[in-house]
C-alpha cells in the first residue's frame, strides 16, 4: 500500500513528472479489522452456555435412565425453579434504587455493539461458541433413545407415574433445547449445521418447520400472512391450531414443480422411520403413542414460545391492495415487531433467543452476539419467556399483562418493569411454577 503522504504528493504532480491517478494507485491501504465484537448483553464466554446444557443433560440422565431422582426432575427444574428465578430477578430489577442500576455502555454509532477494544481480554473462537449447539445434536437422539427404553421398561413394570414422567421430561427437553438449538443451527452459514437442525426437527414430526421458518416466517413476520404470528386477543389454544396447520401448508406450497411437497414428504418419511424404531422397542400401540405424544409436547413448547415472541405486534400495510400477498406490501421488519427479554439464567438455557428483535434484524448473527435491546428500540416484556410461556396457558392472565404492555408500547414505552397491576399475572406464573415443583413428590 502507498503511504498517505506519498499518495497525496504524487497525486498533485503533473502526469509528465510521474503523477498517479487514483486508478493507477489502486485501492487505499487496508486497515486492520477487529477480530470480533461483543454484544453488551451477551456473555463473552461460551462456558456458561455449555455448563447449563450439560446440567440439564445430567439431570435427565439421573432422573430417567439411572432412576436416581424423581422422573419429573427435569420438568420441575425447567418450569418450576427457572420460572421462580425469573420472577425474583424481575422483581429485584423493578424495585432496586435507580442509583444501583447498571450503567449502560456507550455503543458504537450504529447502536448495536461495543467496540472490540472494550471487550474482555479473553476471546474464544467460533468453534467454542458452536460447540454447545453441536453437542445437543448428539445429545438429542440420545435423550430420545434413552427415554424410549425407559418408557418400555416402565410399561413392563406397570409403573404409570414413571411412564408419564419419562414422556414429559423427554418432550420438554426436546422442545426446549432441541428446537432452540435447531433454530440456531438452521441459521448457520455451515451446511453441516443446517443438516443437524433438520435431523433434530424430523425426530419429532416437525421437519417442515425448517422450511416455513427460514423462508416464510422471517419474510412475513407480524403480518396476517404469517401463521406463526399471534393476533392481539388470540389465545394460545387458538393460535396453536393456526400455526401448526399454517406451518405445514406454507412448507408444502413452497417452491414450484412440487419442490416443497417433496421435501415435506422426505421429512415425514424420516420421522416415520423413528416411529418404526419406537415400535420395535415398545410394540405397535405403545411405540406409536410414545413418539406422537413426545412430538406433540415438543411442538407445543416450540409454538408457545413463538406465540409470545410476536404476540399482538403488526407491521403496517404500505400498499393499497385489498388482499396483500407480498412482504413488500407491508413496512420493513423492524425492532418493534418482536418481544424481547433478558434474564441471567433463561438467556443461557435459550441461547439468547429472548433477544429476538436483533435476530430478526440480522438472522446470521450468532447467539452470543445478540443484544437484548438492539439499538435501544426493542420492546421488552415484563417477564422473561419461560414465565410468559406458563402464563399463556391461562389466557385471561396473559391478556391482562400483555394488553397493558401493548398499550404502553403504543405510547412509546420500550422498556418494561413490573408494577402492582401485574400482581395477578406474577402470582399465576408463580403458582404454576410451584405446581411444577410439587411433582417432585412422585
pLDDT digits (tens, 9 = 90+) for 97-136: 555 554 444 443 333 333 333 334 457 888 999 999 999 9
> Considering only CA atoms, which of 258, 177, 250 is closest in space to residue 210?
250
The ranges of the chain with pLDDT < 50 are 1-2, 5-6, 9-11, 13-43, 102-121
pLDDT value of residue 197: 95
Contacts of 95 (CB under 8 A, 6+ apart): none
On whether the CB atoms of residues 277 and 367 are closer than 8 A, the answer is no
Distance of alpha carbon 192 from its chain centroid, rounded? 20
pLDDT value of residue 37: 38
What b/e readout covers 259-270, taking b as 16+ CB neighbours within 10 angstroms?
ebeebbeebeeb
pLDDT value of residue 428: 94
pLDDT value of residue 98: 55
pLDDT value of residue 419: 87
| 317 phi and psi angles, rounded to 5 deg | -80, 130
pLDDT value of residue 417: 84
Cell of 442: 412422585
On whether the CB atoms of residues 341 and 372 are closer than 8 A, the answer is yes
pLDDT value of residue 119: 39
pLDDT tens-digit series, residues 192-234 = 999 999 999 999 999 999 999 999 999 999 999 999 999 999 9
pLDDT value of residue 18: 45
Cell of 75: 420438568
Model pTM score? 0.85
Amino acid at each position: 500500500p502507498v503511504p498517505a503522504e506519498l499518495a497525496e504528493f504524487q497525486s498533485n504532480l503533473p502526469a509528465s513528472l510521474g503523477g498517479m491517478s487514483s486508478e493507477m494507485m489502486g485501492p487505499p491501504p487496508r486497515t486492520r479489522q477487529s477480530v470480533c465484537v461483543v454484544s453488551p448483553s451477551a456473555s463473552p464466554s461460551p462456558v456458561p452456555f455449555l455448563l447449563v446444557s450439560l446440567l440439564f443433560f445430567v439431570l435427565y440422565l439421573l432422573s430417567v435412565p439411572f432412576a436416581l431422582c424423581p422422573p419429573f426432575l427435569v420438568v420441575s427444574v425447567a418450569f418450576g425453579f427457572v420460572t421462580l428465578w425469573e420472577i425474583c430477578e424481575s422483581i429485584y430489577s423493578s424495585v432496586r434504587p435507580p442509583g444501583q442500576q447498571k450503567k449502560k455502555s456507550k455503543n458504537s454509532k450504529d447502536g448495536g455493539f461495543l467496540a472490540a477494544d472494550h471487550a474482555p481480554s479473553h476471546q474464544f473462537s467460533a468453534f467454542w461458541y458452536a460447540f454447545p449447539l453441536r453437542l445437543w445434536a448428539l445429545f438429542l437422539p440420545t435423550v430420545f433413545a434413552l427415554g424410549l427404553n425407559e418408557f418400555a421398561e416402565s410399561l413392563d413394570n406397570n409403573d404409570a407415574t414413571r411412564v408419564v414422567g419419562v414422556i414429559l421430561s423427554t418432550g420438554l427437553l426436546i422442545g426446549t433445547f432441541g428446537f432452540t438449538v435447531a433454530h440456531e443451527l438452521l441459521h448457520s452459514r455451515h451446511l453441516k449445521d443446517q443438516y443437524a437442525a433438520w435431523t433434530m426437527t424430523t425426530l419429532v414430526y416437525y421437519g417442515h418447520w425448517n422450511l416455513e421458518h427460514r423462508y416464510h416466517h422471517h419474510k412475513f413476520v407480524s403480518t396476517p400472512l404469517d401463521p406463526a404470528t399471534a393476533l392481539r386477543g388470540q389465545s394460545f389454544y387458538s393460535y396453536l391450531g393456526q400455526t401448526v396447520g399454517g406451518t405445514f401448508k406454507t412448507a408444502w406450497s413452497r417452491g414450484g414443480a412440487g419442490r416443497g411437497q417433496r421435501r415435506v414428504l422426505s421429512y415425514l418419511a424420516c420421522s416415520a422411520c423413528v416411529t418404526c424404531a419406537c415400535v420395535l422397542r415398545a410394540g405397535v400401540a405403545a411405540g406409536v403413542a410414545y413418539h406422537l405424544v413426545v412430538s406433540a409436547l415438543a411442538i407445543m413448547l416450540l409454538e408457545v414460545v413463538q406465540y409470545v415472541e410476536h404476540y399482538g405486534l403488526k407491521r403496517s400495510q404500505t400498499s393499497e391492495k385489498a388482499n396483500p400477498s407480498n412482504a413488500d406490501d407491508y413496512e420493513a421488519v423492524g425492532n418493534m415487531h418482536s418481544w424481547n427479554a433478558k434474564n441471567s439464567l433463561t438467556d443461557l438455557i435459550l441461547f439468547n433467543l429472548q433477544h429476538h428483535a436483533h435476530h430478526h434484524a440480522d438472522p446470521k448473527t450468532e447467539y452470543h452476539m445478540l443484544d437484548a435491546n438492539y439499538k435501544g428500540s426493542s420492546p421488552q416484556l415484563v417477564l422473561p419467556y419461560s414465565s410468559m410461556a406458563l402464563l399463556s396457558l391461562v389466557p385471561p392472565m396473559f391478556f391482562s399483562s400483555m394488553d397493558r404492555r401493548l398499550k404502553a408500547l403504543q405510547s412509546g414505552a420500550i422498556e418494561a418493569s413490573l408494577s402492582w397491576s401485574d400482581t395477578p399475572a406474577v402470582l399465576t406464573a408463580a403458582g404454576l411454577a410451584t405446581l411444577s415443583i410439587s411433582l417432585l413428590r412422585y
